[in-house]
Amino acid sequence: MNNITLSTKFRPIKPLPPLFEGLDELGRVTAGIPLEAIEDRQRGELLSLLTAPGRYALQVSDDSMCEAGIIQGDIVIVQSQQQARNGDIVVALIDNQQVTLKRIRYRSGNRIQLLADSPDLDDLILADSRVVIQGKVIGQVRQYR
């Protein structure tokens, strides 16, 4: 594994504008065998995904999680929490200076592995004292242009 140098530059995260205000969920659609077209107007589930207490949105700035289906420009919905399970995709604060979106794996010896879901990037293995979990990804939004 290559030595990883963490940048000392930190850009504050800018809040995104409210998403999907007033958007109705009209029903379900299949990407496989067609379903009967029945309108089923609902509002609650989509808005609660985005607006439940402790949730926030971050725009992804690169493709380091592409194999997880998260690409540059996507907006991830994050549940603010300080614990995560092996395999969860988390927002991790490293050395109280840098924030990253990675899959987490707990290692022996009080170490944490932060995995990029991209073949182009190396994983980070850090002492658990250097990593603070700020939240877990619970959803994502992609806008097609």
Q: How far apart are CA 106 and CA 35, in angstroms?
A: 42
CA 67 to chain centre: 13
Cβ atoms of 106 and 86 closer than 8 Å: yes
Give the CATH number of domain 55-141: 2.10.109.10
Average pLDDT, the chain: 78
**108: annotated active-site residue:** no
Residue of 7, 9, 64, 118 marked catalytic: 64
Query: Which alpha helices (DSSP H) does the chain contain, by range?
Result: 44-51
Reported as a single tens digit per residue, the pLDDT across 53-98 is: 888 888 898 888 999 999 888 888 899 999 999 999 999 999 999 9
Domain boundaries, the chain: 55-141
Max mean pLDDT range (28-42, 43-57, 117-131): 117-131
The yes-or-no answer on residue 9 being catalytic is: no
What percent of the chain has a predicted confidence (pLDDT) above 70?
A: 68
Average pLDDT of 106-128?
Answer: 94
- pLDDT, residue 107, reads 96
Catalytic residue selected from 9, 14, 61, 102: 102
